[in-house]
Structures are given as C-alpha cells and as structure tokens.
Amino acid sequence: MCANILIAEDDAKQAELVRRYLEHEGHTVTVVEDGRAALDGVRRAEPDLLVLDVMMPRTDGLDVVRILRAECREVPVLMLTARSTEDDLLLGLDLGADDYMTKPFSPRELMARVRTLLRRNRRPAGATGANGTLSVGTLRIDPARHEVSVGGTPVLCTPGEFRILAAMATEPDRVFTRKQLLEELHGFDKYITNRTVDVHIMHLRKKIERAPRRPDRLLTVFGVGYKLTDPAKNGRHAPT
C-alpha cells in the first residue's frame, strides 16, 4: 500500500534515513523541520501518516498532536523520541498518538510499525458500517469502543487479540501470514514470536467459535497463515 507520508524531524540525518526507507517501500514522502511546519503540512495535504519527532523547534511534537486532535484531525501519528520513560510514552498516547518509538530504533521495525498503522487505518469498501464498526457475518468489532461481539453476545479480548481480530476483519477471507499478524502486536507484547500469534489465535477461537477445535470462522490456511471468514457465506455453520 503506497501512501503519502509527512516526516517532521529537525535532525537532518535522521529525517533522511527515515525518508529513504519509506521511499524504498514506494511511499511519497515530505520532510519538514519544525512543529509549525508539521501542522501546516497536515492541514494542507492531509497525509496518510505523520512520523513526528517529539523534540522540535517552534512547536514540539506533543503540542502538534494536541492541536491536531483538538481540530478533530484523524491522521495517524507515529512519534519518535529520545525520551524513554513510561510517563513520556503514556503522555504521547494519551494526547492521541497512535504509536511511539524511542531512539535509537531499528529502521526495519519502524517500517513494520508504519505498515501496521497504514493497514489499520484503511477503510475497505463493505468492511465497515456507518459508525466504523467492522462486521464479518455475526461478528462485530467496534474499534472506537474496543468492543467485540458474536451474535450480539459481548466477547472480552486482550489488546493483542483485539488488534489481530480487527486487522483480519478489515479484509475478510484474506490470508494473513504470521509475520503480518506479528506486526499488529508491536507495542502490546514485549516478547513476540510466531508462537505468540498461534496462542492468540487459539484464545480467539475459544471466544468466537462455537466449536474451537473445529473452527468455521477463524480458519488455518496450512503453510501460509490464517483468515477470518463469514461461516454462513461459505456454507459453514455460524454460531448462534
């Protein structure tokens, strides 16, 4: 998925590194050097993603997020910072940032986070309702309220389970590899492996399947990964 991405970073070397990696993945990238320019760039171009440094001249990154959210602008924000305390991280997220990485960071991990944010904020035709609710048969996922239900019955999910389920619900019947699902878990599971995905899938089946050992909704595609489907649409028996 190619996107228009705005980088707000006053460190020229850091900005150039991020720009080159993003452009290598096919994205169109604009770089600005201070917070006010970041605000102007979002207002003017409405980018698909803002990669935002916290410590910047004129207006810092935290104030940029605060102002954008006060203006009801929903551009996804990935914050970059040399600060690493829990309080700093929570403040950024509380203000409305979508993800948070501390410097120095792995460029490969940064690209994985970018892919996750872009995928999470897509709105495929037919996948969402008027209120943003994702639906796959009788399965309903409300990203804003972090709620899941099957046939009207609430289902309690962990943050990691919710992210995996919501990602798959944006594209029903698409096969997601374990690697792709791992990207959804960044920031929620400190130690993640392919086995982590399998465990989440196992727990989700216990929660959304009528017969977890014979799933008809959350299916394994052997040798590839997993897909989420509507049992009724595919001639399977949906839970009631």
CATH code matching the domain that covers 4-120, chosen among 3.40.50.2000, 2.60.120.10, 3.40.50.2300, 3.40.720.10: 3.40.50.2300
Domain borders along the chain are 4-120, 134-228
Among 57, 59, 98, CA closest to 80:
98
> What pLDDT is attached to residue 162?
86
**Helical residues (DSSP H) of 96-158, grouped into ranges:** 107-120
> What pLDDT is attached to residue 236?
55
Can you name the CATH fold of 134-228?
Answer: Arc Repressor Mutant, subunit A (1.10.10)
Average pLDDT, 10 consecutive residues per value, the chain (240 residues): 90 93 92 95 94 90 91 87 66 79 86 82 51 86 86 86 88 88 64 72 94 94 93 61
> What pLDDT is attached to residue 129?
55
- The type of residue at 237 is H
DSSP string of 60-77? Answer: -HHHHHHHHHHTT----E
> What pLDDT is attached to residue 234?
65
Answer for the pair 100, 93: CB distance below 8 angstroms, yes or no: yes
Mapped onto helix, strand or coil, the DSSP state of residue 221 is strand
